[in-house]
A = this chain, B = another copy of it.
């Protein structure tokens, strides 16, 4: 399956500014993209799931996977890659900051035989989806999971949702780094540890701490 991975290499992850400077945010975002591509490539190599990743980048990018540059807003750029007619192949869209995504979690995304498969993200997002029907179009603005359910219903398509903590966890804010440190197994978690981050607990609350030594 064609798997579109949207990525914005310029000024990524601004909400991480309280804990990472601009160059660090770029490096960390890139480590997360590489983790996502690596999980997809493992799935393709080791299981009976054919995966062809296509990085949909807002700017030119040097990358192992195929890259297409499209600087339009996310919704327009993605919709242009979805099936346009019944004879088109299904297309998946997987966000580039799913640092916890494993081959197992992604395999569960590709399993259901529904017109549309959604992996909800925390906070109302749509972190990953599979589109098998030309009548579905994305709208990433706002609480997109609710809008996408409605689009599916209005077009009288079949819907499946994948219940995955790993796919629900996109990494936008400092608190999300706790999840990467506790559950990540790839380059993004290693990058954070290398940068001095660790998980600390105080008063029963869990937080990140950075050792600059």
Chain A positions within 8 Å of B, measured between CB atoms, are: 102, 104-105, 108, 120, 122-125, 141-143, 145-146, 163-169, 175, 178-179, 182-183, 199, 201, 204, 206
Task: Report, nearest first, the 3 A-B pairs whose CB atoms are least far apart.
Answer: A142-B201, A165-B168, A124-B206
Given A146-B182, A164-B164, A201 contacting B120 (CB threshold 8 A):
no
Task: Chain B residues near A120: list those with CB within 8 A.
Answer: 165, 182-183
A155 CB → nearest B CB, Å: 20
State the copy count for this chain.
2
Q: B142 touching A178 by the CB < 8 A rule?
A: no
Task: Chain B residues near A169: list those with CB within 8 A.
Answer: 122
Task: Chain B residues near A125: list those with CB within 8 A.
Answer: 206
Given A122-B122, A164-B165, A175-B123, A142 contacting B206 (CB threshold 8 A):
yes
How long is the Cα–Cα vector from A30 to B196 in the complex, in angstroms? 42
Q: CB-nearest residue of chain B relative to A145?
A: B182
Q: Which of A102, A125, A199 has the most CB of B within 10 A?
A: A199
How long is the Cα–Cα vector from A169 to B169 in the complex, in angstroms? 11
* 11 more A-B residue pairs beyond the given contacts A163-B164, A164-B164, with a C-beta to C-beta distance below 8 A: A102-B163, A122-B179, A123-B178, A123-B179, A124-B178, A124-B182, A124-B206, A141-B204, A143-B182, A143-B201, A168-B168
How long is the Cα–Cα vector from A177 to B102 in the complex, in angstroms? 28
How long is the Cα–Cα vector from A165 to B163 in the complex, in angstroms? 5
Task: Chain B residues near A145: list those with CB within 8 A.
Answer: 182
Task: Chain B residues near A104: list those with CB within 8 A.
Answer: 163
Task: Chain B residues near A164: list those with CB within 8 A.
Answer: 163-165
Q: CB-nearest residue of chain B relative to A108?
A: B163
A162 CB → nearest B CB, Å: 9
How long is the Cα–Cα vector from A178 to B144 in the complex, in angstroms? 13
A13 CB → nearest B CB, Å: 15
How long is the Cα–Cα vector from A169 to B105 in the complex, in angstroms? 17
